[in-house]
Amino acid sequence: MASPRLAIVVYSLTGNNLVLAQHLGGRLGADVLEVRDVRRRTQWSVALDLMFKRQAAIRPLDLDPASYDEILFMAPLWDMHVAMPMAAAMRALKGNIIRYGFVSLCGYDRPGQQAHVEAELTDLLGVRPVHVSQLFVGTLYPPQDRNKVWLISSRRIRAGELGRFSREIEAIAGWFSAPADRQGSTPTA
């Protein structure tokens, strides 16, 4: 039996999620497709998007969901929300995605964040995610610095640093290499 075809759809403002997507894409033999903004986005524009709940303008995504058995979306979380450009891409795909997972290389964990993200993903795509995982940049710092937004948001992850997340990456890779009940899997953290 051929292994399932996987697409990784990634949005990455700082490059952190893109580094992870390229690593996993190479490891899993997945196609990596990037969500791109129409205009250059900055930390300031992100803050304004959040404050005013603005929709992001993105370039068309060249993705035919029917060509893949599963899609893995990857994006940062901004104030516990899926980054606006990824949310825009997901809205455009709503009704066309059957089985998907979501991974975020994000700042840090906040109370209720996992449940909030799962609910938002379900709303954006119209179907519950099968897998959801968050890798926290904050864990790369000493405990006293793990919630410093300015410090964490300025961190740029290099491919060589992904080893610090090896346990989480192994779990994510396992989603696609282990035989699964393709109809009845439940979301996992």
DSSP 39-100: S---HHHHHHHHHHTPPPPBPPP---GGG-SEEEEE--EETTEE-HHHHHHHHHHTTS--SE
- The answer to whether residue 126 is domain-embedded is yes
Check which CATH number belongs to the domain holding 85 and give it. Answer: 3.40.50.360
Identity at 180, one-letter amino acid code: A
Whole-structure pTM value:
0.88
- With beta carbons less than 8 A apart as the criterion, state whether 111 and 83 touch: no
- Domain tally, the chain: 1
Task: Identify the domain containing residue 43 by its residue range.
Answer: 6-177
> Among the listed ranges 43-52, 107-116, 123-132, 154-163, which one has the minimum average pLDDT value?
43-52
Tell me, what's the pLDDT at 4? Answer: 64
- The answer to whether residue 59 is domain-embedded is yes
- The answer to whether residue 46 is domain-embedded is yes
Query: Quick check: helix, strand or coil at residue 22?
Result: helix
Tokens of 184: 């009845």
- With beta carbons less than 8 A apart as the criterion, state whether 135 and 165 touch: yes
Report the DSSP pairing between strands 81-82 and 77-78.
antiparallel
> What distance in Å separates the CA atoms of residue 12 and residue 135, rounded to the nearest whole number?
14
- The answer to whether residue 188 is domain-embedded is no
Tell me, what's the pLDDT at 178? Answer: 55
The H or E element spanning position 6 is: strand 6-10
**Mean pLDDT for the stretch of residues 134-159:** 92
- The answer to whether residue 72 is domain-embedded is yes
Q: Is 130 a residue whose pLDDT tops 60?
A: yes
- The answer to whether residue 170 is domain-embedded is yes
- The answer to whether residue 159 is domain-embedded is yes
- The answer to whether residue 1 is domain-embedded is no
Rg (CA), the chain: 16
Tell me, what's the pLDDT at 57? Answer: 84
C-alpha angle 88-94-99 in degrees, rounded to nearest 5: 115
